Amino acid sequence: MNKKLKVSIIVIVAILVIGIGAFAYFLISDLIEEGKLKNEINNISYVMAEGNFEDAKNMTKTRVTKGDYLKVEDAAKNYLAELIDSTSGLIEIANDERLVNMLTADNYIKDGPEFTNTKSFITEAKNKINESKEKSKDKFTQENMMSHLDQNLDSYYVDLYKELMGEADYESIETSLNEISNILENSEKVINFLVKNKDKWSVQNNTIIFTEDNLISEYNSLLSNMSGGVEYTKDFGTYTIDSSWEEYLNQSADNEFFYVKVGTNSLEKQNNISVKEETNSYSESNHINFKNWILSQLSSELSENDTINANAFTSDNGYTVYEFEIHNGVENVTNNKYYIIGDYKHILVDETVYTDSENVGDVDDIAREIVNTFKWND
């Protein structure tokens, strides 16, 4: 072989080997940086899930990557730090032992009968929750999440950032804020009741004792509101839903509000409940004719595979309610419609259940809770 040709081949092979080696180095280096970034964000998410927000905030101050991965890390950690700051009031109140100790015999003895410290805490907590509502609403948005990232980055890094951060979820934060607001509101009602009747109760053997039977009933009624439900207030009225369910803001509109079980937004078959006000041509006293009209309408919409059952009852708040259960045996779908009767108007609580879905669970119980707690605003 020609000596010059042999040398040229050796040089070309050497260049190829160096090129392949450099490519492998950068590929492995990239994988290492990406692995460090994912591990770091996962660790922060885990610490936050455990409720250690101060530790999580400190973790957002460090950096473990380089290059374009550092830009993604900067954006991710700055966004997470902002979310922690915006919900600091919620975090502080949720971790405060006074929140769960307000209505204990120990607190009744220590702070009763005027409950000066307890009332001061409730006022302070309400202010912090309201502040968190204002601060967090604009932070938990897709637009704000993306604003932290360098938009000149390659699409690979943009997609990686979106994968790490997921969907901006204000709904779960709003649910938590509403839950604590509900606890504070109902606790305040109990405390005000005890202050008003301060000469008519005492604590004996860690049990509150009232001097009048009617006060026992009123006290127990106030405590029953502490069951963990969230009260929703709309233009037409109020109703309570267990905190394991949340309003699905992406589907709710001006006059119809959807609710789903927490954590089921991504399910293909999503059981749901909607609530809306509608008008009709019947007075409240003429509800039987209203029932016949609705039954006629629903029956005309049935397919050959549908069955319908009708029922009537009085809600816990004294309203006449008509229930229609429609079942489609082919598609395994049950649709329960509850009509809460008003004067020339009604509330439709519309429940859709996929009987072969992953979360059939307590859908009907939640729908009935809405019906039984509903109160017209007027």
Q: What percent of the chain has pLDDT over 90?
A: 33
Which run of H or of E encompasses 22? helix 3-49
Mean pLDDT value across residues 112-122: 95
Residue 154 region, left (φ>0) first, then alpha (ψ -120 to 50), else beta?
beta
pLDDT over threshold 70, residue 174: yes
Q: Please, what is the average pLDDT of the chain?
A: 83
Please tell me the predicted confidence (pLDDT) of residue 229: 67
Return d(Cα 212, Cα 207) in angstroms, integer: 15
Using alpha carbons only, give the angle 215, 221, 223 rounded to the nearest 5 degrees: 105
User: 229-376, superfamily in CATH?
Assistant: Mog1/PsbP, alpha/beta/alpha sandwich (3.40.1000.10)
pLDDT at 58: 92
Question: Is the pLDDT assigned to residue 93 strictly greater than 90?
Answer: no
Among the listed residues 192, 208, 53, the one whose alpha carbon sits nearest the alpha carbon of residue 122: 192
The whole-number pLDDT of residue 219 equals: 84
Does the pLDDT of residue 367 top 90, yes or no? yes
User: Region 251-280: what's the mean pLDDT?
Assistant: 83
User: Residue 22: its pLDDT value, please?
Assistant: 43
Among the residue ranges 17-26, 87-96, 322-331, 368-377, the one predicted with the least confidence is 17-26
- pLDDT over threshold 70, residue 35: yes
Structure tokens at 257: 């509000």
DSSP states of 258-313 as a string?
EEEETT-TT-SS--EEEEEEEE-S--GGGHHHHHHHHHHHHHHT--TTEEEEEEEE
C-alpha span between 149 and 153 (Å, rounded): 8
Give the pLDDT confidence of 175-212 residue by residue, as tens digits.
Answer: 777 878 888 888 999 999 999 999 999 988 777 888 98
Give 186's contacts (C-beta < 8 A, 6+ positions apart). 222, 225, 226
| Percent of the chain residues past pLDDT 70, beyond the cut | 85
User: Cα 53 from chain centroid?
Assistant: 19
What was the pLDDT predicted at 230?
74
Say what the pLDDT of residue 23 is. 39
For residue range 313-359, list pLDDT tens digits in order: 999 899 999 999 988 766 678 889 999 999 999 999 999 988 776 55
